[in-house]
Amino acid sequence: MVDLRGRDFLKLLDFTPKEINHLLTVSSTLKKQKRNHESHRYLKGKQVALIFEKDSTRTRCSFEAGAVDLGMQATYIGPTGSQLGKKETIADTARVLCRIYDGIEYRGFDQTIVEDLAKYSSVPVWNGLTNEFHPTQMLADVMTIKEEFGKLKGITLCFCGDARNNVGNSLMVVCSKLGMNFVCAAPKELFPNEELVSICKNICNETGGTIRLEEDIMKATKDVDVLYTDVWVSMGEPMELWENRIKLLQPYQVNKKVMDNANKNAIFLHCLPSFHNIDTKIGKEIYDKFGITEMEVTDEVFESSKSRVFEEAENRLHTIKAVMLETLKE
């Protein structure tokens, strides 16, 4: 029996494979209920606080809409408008919010902040993205992969790009936990940090997963089942980094040649938002400055029949609801 009541959800390293699989099972049930318009207000009367020090579409909407689906109310606390960070510490904020709310979500900067929030809060704290990890994203990703292939063990996923960012780190962790094969296609400078690689390799010894770090994009992507990429510069990083990242990561763009190198049935995933054209403010700025029209993924792959990015985005809702439900239920 898996019992996650009262638990924080800060990073997947804290969870067993059985617990992660349980959350996926609950997510699938909630997805069916939502699709069938069956009421699932299991947390009626509870309230959650959602702290966002960085921007968000999917995570914020999934927590807000998910809370309402489960019968709860949500309060959004944005980067401005509260005392947090200016006149009040994380420790004090945590001790206030847990007197008012049943659960607290945090999106922001260092992982130590969300860990501190959890330390001082008597109610569950959920990580909605930090510089180091993005665990709720992972549940949606593996849910999408499982829906596609019917299994996770033995599936090979290749992450192309800045493999030290929150998404790269978290993918390596979730693949290790679930007995999947993780390949990172990146220049050496952007390989995940050695300590995390070593922790994940130890997990793989238990689960049968594997980890491979590869500089050669064609070797890395040969016959993989899932191609995954993310933005080259993450939220919170300085704009000045773009020039260097473009130089380092252009060879790792997911384009048709790379996609054709993967398995015949391979799918493309991206946590989103994505720079696959110049129809965004930043996309246009990068085009004006560096003359490139697509970045981490080409528009052709993004819009292709192999792309599952919108299924993946929808699964953010169901998986975030599973995390809230399993940690808050009585």
Task: Name the site residues for ligand CP (rule: CB under 6 A).
Answer: 56-59, 129, 137, 271-272
- Which of residues 271, 317, 322, 323 is near ligand NVA by CB under 6 A? 271
With CA atoms as reference, report the closest residue to 153 among 181, 174, 172, 131.
181
| Three-state secondary structure call for residue 313 | helix
Which amino acid is present at 272?
A: L
Tokens for 147, please give them: 């829906």
Q: Could you give the angle at the alpha carbon of 35 between the alpha carbons of 34 and 38, nearest 5°?
A: 50
Q: 218 Cβ partners below 8 Å, 6+ apart?
A: 258, 261
Q: Contact between 234 and ligand NVA (CB under 6 A)? A: yes
Q: Contact between 65 and ligand NVA (CB under 6 A)? A: no
- Which of 165, 253 has the CB closer to ligand NVA? 165
Helix%, strand%, coil% for the chain, nearest 5 = 45, 15, 40
The CB-of-272 to ligand CP minimum distance in angstroms stands at 5
Specify whether 175 is catalytic. Answer: no
The CB-of-169 to ligand CP minimum distance in angstroms stands at 14
> How many CB atoms sit inside 10 A of residue 199's CB?
15
Specify whether 158 is catalytic. Answer: no
Residues in the chain: 330
| Binding partner of residue 65 among ligand NVA, ligand CP, none, CB cut-off 5 to 8 Å per kind | none
Tokens 């099972």 sit on residue: 25
- Which of residues 165, 221, 298, 319 is near ligand NVA by CB under 6 A? 165
Specify whether 134 is catalytic. Answer: yes
| Binding partner of residue 57 among ligand CP, ligand NVA, none, CB cut-off 5 to 8 Å per kind | ligand CP
- Which of residues 53, 230, 296, 312 is near ligand NVA by CB under 6 A? 230
| Binding partner of residue 249 among ligand CP, ligand NVA, none, CB cut-off 5 to 8 Å per kind | none
The CB-of-168 to ligand NVA minimum distance in angstroms stands at 8
- Which of 135, 209 has the CB closer to ligand CP? 135
Q: Contact between 130 and ligand NVA (CB under 6 A)? A: no
Choose the catalytic residue: 7, 22, 60, 107. 107
The CB-of-193 to ligand NVA minimum distance in angstroms stands at 15
Residue nearest to ligand NVA (CB): 234
Specify whether 271 is catalytic. Answer: yes
What's the CA dihedral at 27, 28, 31, 33 to 10 degrees? -110
The CB-of-114 to ligand CP minimum distance in angstroms stands at 14
Given a contact cutoff of 8 angstroms between Cβ atoms, the answer to whether 139 and 319 are in contact is yes
The CB-of-160 to ligand CP minimum distance in angstroms stands at 17
With CA atoms as reference, report the closest residue to 286 among 319, 245, 248, 257.
245
**DSSP letter at 264?**
T
Given a contact cutoff of 8 angstroms between Cβ atoms, the answer to whether 253 and 296 are in contact is yes
With CA atoms as reference, report the closest residue to 201 among 223, 226, 229, 175.
175
> How many CB atoms sit inside 10 A of residue 122's CB?
10
With CA atoms as reference, report the closest residue to 156 among 226, 96, 95.
226
- Which of residues 20, 163, 167, 174 is near ligand NVA by CB under 6 A? 167
Q: Contact between 313 and ligand NVA (CB under 6 A)? A: no
Binding site for ligand NVA (CB under 6 A): 165-167, 230-231, 234-235, 271
Residues involved in catalysis:
107, 134, 137, 230, 271, 316
